[in-house]
Amino acid sequence: MSDKLLPLRNFLREVLYAYHGRYPSNEKINTEAILKSPGKFGLRPVRKGESRLGSLMIWPKSAALVAEDGNDTNTAFSLQKIAVWYPSTKNCGALETITVDKLVSQTTSLTDIRYFQPIHPRLFWNSWIDSDDGSEQPVTLETGKLYRFRLAFSALDFNAQKNGADNPREKIELQQTEDYLPDFEPYNITVVPVGKFRTRKPLLSMVTISRDTLTRTLIQDKITTRKLNEMSREHNAIKFEDGDNTILSSAFIPIEPGCISFVVVVSSKATRRLVTSWRVNAMVGDQDATQCVTTSISRSVGPSAMPWFEVSDEKQAVARLGILDFEDFAIGSFQKARDADQDPISWVLKGPLERALRDLSEYINDNIGSDALDLKLVSRELTKTLFDCATNGDSDEDPCDGNIALQELRSLASTSKNDRVQVNLRNIVANRNYYAPVQLISYSESEALGKYLDFVQPLPIPLPPVLGPTKCISDWTSGLIVTDAAFTETWRRTLVPSIVEPLHHRSPATFDDLNLLKGYLTSSSPMCERPEALVLLAHHGRGFLADTQKRKRIEGIPAEQVSRKFKNGSVGILMACSLGAIGDKDNDGAMFLERLNEKNMRAAVISPVIVPGRLAARFLENVKTVASKLEKDTTLSEIFRLARQRILNGPDPQDNNEAVRIAANFLMIVGDPDTSICGAIK
């Protein structure tokens, strides 16, 4: 198939999938076939007087999806007023938003245009929050109170019905329903809580869609109820595998004021595809509502992208890479810019993500600290894990979209000046993050993408923007407790004071003893008034910190005992092994990092693999060199970049060690890289 026709064919497949919830059969898909027999593809012509918004616009050898209908009806027709999504032949088929007059200049065959809608009527995913006192969709939620997140699939727009709007559903005759309603495959529905909850366990449900319920809604003479739960009892078509038709709900208790979210992911295990996904925000407490944009109760069935789990809207990111791990399979997604009018590139990974990352981690940990660690091997294996497709994808007929995404990343790197790329590798079943050294993926034979792009990976709980007078950090706390390596007591006691003294910052707490640090981190005293930088040097494994490798868990600092609440805006420079360990099956590697995040740690420098003692010493020394000379407020990202760069290209002879340089490549920032460190206080 030619390069020109391939994006068009893929575009038509995705539109039909969005319309019907499934891909078309083996019927040959092209514009000529659709124009000849639209009914075979579940399509009908747009009726006279009917809006063309969301319709498939087809003419010989090309097609587009109407994004904005400037005419509202087919009367007073003016083609130039229509904005459409059009599959670009220049950008791997990604969707471009384009006006028809510009489209005319790109094609010579814009004649005999016809518009098609799916045969079936409008269908909706409806979601809302309620509580035991009968309140539905409250404006704000209370901390410590039990709520339920509800979900329904219906031919009724619950939001329109609740507000008394006209036409909250289509009304048809019984004999029409057989042709109007599509067939539905079984769905897996996952509801993932994102934010500060008493428990963040996701809801996992296997469901079917009841055509009988949809039919009753479509043919019912009149619907009068305005209560969301009553609508759901009568019109919700979600049925559980055992035939139960109770409302799908997830109980939750918010524990702190701020913005929380629920990410809904509907997937098909049979086709290993993301059917649809979206995020619903809710505000807890009397907070600034602008920081938590709420969404409509009802969402029309239609095209959707991979969900993004961060509440923040990263304006600096030029692209984002997301992997959702369903454990049985994983789906990748790449999008050039978060607000770009382009469809994301999506693919099914070749194999289980967690196992592949765990195998890679084992190789790295067995060889780190020596010259035997082959960064090119790490790059090749990580590239195959993230970007190879379940199908071969090596033909013109069926290319691997993961490989296309990799090409796009390399293309960005070719023109980049340290542009930022957001990366989120998430286990959707366990609701936890994986951290992987994506910066090591190759750009060329001798260079990695991390030389040209800054990769940022999120902490599991996004925090609100830092507000108030203390927006930068001038307090430094240290816990340099390792005693069984070449770290002298004098060095451990003087490192942080050597940073704060020339800056006129504060060092409210300096610990070189395990028990003293344990007392600090497990204290339930009131939250600090100012954000702080926690500089840590400790052994870590199985979810606890220690001063020697011989300590038992009961003697160390287990993650679950950390009670100290940090001020939002705090960061960690954490030289401890395997924090956020790659593909750690029992999640022990991420427990400590997640606990600090729960206690308001906004960002951290970590390594998801073993940190050799020599690397820890050199990196902290270079942080001291860089930070102690700050003349103005500087981001954690910039301090990290300069400190690590001194090791990679080190002017200091002590940095001239190849094994240390190799190990430094695995250091990374997780969370908000723009968290600010104060410059020298005059």
> Is residue 392's pLDDT more than 60?
no
Question: What pLDDT digit, counting tens, does each position of 596-654 carry?
Answer: 999 999 999 999 999 999 999 999 999 999 999 999 999 999 999 999 999 988 656 66
The pLDDT value recorded for residue 109 is: 59
Question: Token pair of 173, please?
Answer: 């005759």
Q: What does the alpha-carbon distance between residue 410 and residue 665 come to, in Å, rounded to a whole number? A: 19
The pLDDT value recorded for residue 72 is: 43
On whether both 523 and 396 belong to a single domain, the answer is no
On whether both 197 and 224 belong to a single domain, the answer is yes
Q: Strands 432-434 and 419-427: what pairing? A: antiparallel
Give, rounded to a whole angstrom, the gap between the first and last alpha carbons of the chain: 67
The pLDDT value recorded for residue 102 is: 72
* 180, amino acid identity: Y
Pair 547, 538: CB distance under 8 Å:
yes
The pLDDT value recorded for residue 242 is: 73
Pair 131, 120: CB distance under 8 Å:
no
Q: What does the alpha-carbon distance between residue 125 and residue 355 come to, in Å, rounded to a whole number? A: 34
Q: Is residue 396 part of a domain?
A: yes
Q: What does the alpha-carbon distance between residue 494 and residue 273 come to, in Å, rounded to a whole number? A: 55
Pair 317, 421: CB distance under 8 Å:
yes
Split at pLDDT 50, 70, 90, the class of 498 is very high
> Is residue 345's pLDDT more than 50?
yes
In 285-431, the DSSP E strands lie at 298-300, 317-325, 330-335, 345-348, 419-427
CATH code of the domain containing 85 = 3.90.1720
Question: What pLDDT digit, counting tens, does each position of 81-90 carry?
Answer: 677 777 766 6
Segment 255-272 mean pLDDT: 88
Pair 371, 662: CB distance under 8 Å:
yes
Q: What does the alpha-carbon distance between residue 608 and residue 668 come to, in Å, rounded to a whole number? A: 8
On whether both 174 and 86 belong to a single domain, the answer is no
Q: Strands 453-456 and 432-434: what pairing? A: unpaired
Of 281-285, 443-447, 579-583, 662-666, the least confident: 579-583
Segment 442-451 mean pLDDT: 94
* 203, amino acid identity: L
Q: Strands 676-677 and 56-59: what pairing? A: unpaired
Pair 267, 273: CB distance under 8 Å:
yes
Report the percent of the chain where pLDDT is more than 90.
Answer: 50
On whether both 172 and 213 belong to a single domain, the answer is yes
Q: Is residue 467 part of a domain?
A: no
Among 353, 365, 366, 378, smallest CA distance to 585 is for 353
Q: What residues contact 226, with CB distance under 8 A and at least 6 apart?
A: 161, 162, 164
Of 138-147, 231-240, 519-528, 571-580, the least confident: 519-528
On whether both 504 and 617 belong to a single domain, the answer is yes
Give the other-Cβ count within 10 Å of 501's Cβ: 12
Pair 55, 43: CB distance under 8 Å:
no
Of 67-71, 474-478, 535-539, the least confident: 67-71
Split at pLDDT 50, 70, 90, the class of 39 is confident
Q: What does the alpha-carbon distance between residue 590 and residue 608 come to, in Å, rounded to a whole number? A: 9
Question: Token pair of 227, please?
Answer: 């209560």
> Is residue 284's pLDDT more than 80?
yes
The pLDDT value recorded for residue 182 is: 74
Q: What does the alpha-carbon distance between residue 590 and residue 182 come to, in Å, rounded to a whole number? A: 43
Range of 74-83, 339-348, 543-552 with top mean pLDDT? 543-552
Segment 433-458 mean pLDDT: 94
CATH code of the domain containing 581 = 3.40.50.1460
Position with higher pLDDT, 112 vs 332: 332
Give the other-Cβ count within 10 Å of 518's Cβ: 22
The pLDDT value recorded for residue 80 is: 59
Q: Strands 419-427 and 317-325: what pairing? A: parallel
Question: Token pair of 291, please?
Answer: 């920081």
Q: What does the alpha-carbon distance between residue 542 and residue 557 come to, in Å, rounded to a whole number? A: 11
The pLDDT value recorded for residue 583 is: 54
Segment 23-48 mean pLDDT: 77
Domain region containing 634: 472-677
Pair 423, 440: CB distance under 8 Å:
no
On whether both 495 and 445 belong to a single domain, the answer is no
Question: What pLDDT digit, counting tens, does each position of 410-438 carry?
Answer: 999 998 888 999 999 999 888 888 999 99
Question: Token pair of 99, please?
Answer: 């006006």
Give the orientation angle of helix 228-235 with respect to helix 211-219, to 10 degrees: 110
> Is residue 311's pLDDT more than 60?
no
Pair 116, 34: CB distance under 8 Å:
yes
The pLDDT value recorded for residue 74 is: 41
On whether both 147 and 85 belong to a single domain, the answer is no
> Is residue 394's pLDDT more than 70?
no
Among 233, 249, 225, smallest CA distance to 162 is for 225
Position with higher pLDDT, 103 vs 350: 350
Give the other-Cβ count within 10 Å of 224's Cβ: 6
**DSSP states of 312-349:** S--TTEEEEEEEEE-SS-EEEEEES-TT-SSPPEEEEB
Among 149, 141, 74, smallest CA distance to 113 is for 74
Q: What does the alpha-carbon distance between residue 94 and residue 632 come to, in Å, rounded to a whole number? A: 42
Task: Measure Cα distances from 595 to 451, 489, 498, 560 in Å.
Answer: 31, 28, 29, 7
Task: Measure Cα distances from 241 to 190, 207, 264 in Å.
Answer: 15, 6, 19
Q: Is residue 312 part of a domain?
A: no
Q: Strands 95-99 and 83-87: what pairing? A: antiparallel
On whether both 195 and 270 belong to a single domain, the answer is yes
Q: Which residue has the tokens 């020394």?
A: 621
Q: What residues contact 225, with CB distance under 8 A and at least 6 apart?
A: 161, 231, 234
Question: What pLDDT digit, counting tens, does each position of 121-174 carry?
Answer: 678 899 999 999 999 999 899 999 999 999 999 999 998 899 888 778 888 788
On whether both 485 and 446 belong to a single domain, the answer is no
On whether both 218 and 258 belong to a single domain, the answer is yes
Q: What does the alpha-carbon distance between residue 250 and residue 240 come to, in Å, rounded to a whole number? A: 14
Q: Is residue 500 part of a domain?
A: yes
The DSSP call for residue 17 is H
Task: Measure Cα distances from 588 to 338, 447, 554, 585 in Å.
Answer: 32, 33, 15, 8
Of 140-144, 216-220, 300-304, the least confident: 300-304
> Is residue 75's pLDDT more than 50?
no
On whether both 159 and 283 belong to a single domain, the answer is yes
Q: Is residue 463 part of a domain?
A: no
The pLDDT value recorded for residue 3 is: 40
Last residue of a domain, one of 300, 334, 366: 300
On whether both 479 and 450 belong to a single domain, the answer is no
Split at pLDDT 50, 70, 90, the class of 19 is confident
Segment 317-325 mean pLDDT: 90
Average pLDDT, the chain: 84
Q: Is residue 213 part of a domain?
A: yes
Q: What is the H or E stretch that residue 215 is in?
A: helix 211-219
Q: Is residue 305 part of a domain?
A: no
Last residue of a domain, one of 300, 326, 355: 300
Pair 154, 173: CB distance under 8 Å:
no
Phi and psi angles of residue 494, each rounded to the nearest 5 degrees, phi first: -105, -10
Q: Is residue 518 part of a domain?
A: yes
Alpha-helix residue ranges (DSSP H) falling in 464-554: 489-503, 514-521
Segment 539-555 mean pLDDT: 92
Last residue of a domain, one of 118, 137, 152: 118
Q: How many domains does the chain have?
A: 4
3-state secondary structure of 678: coil
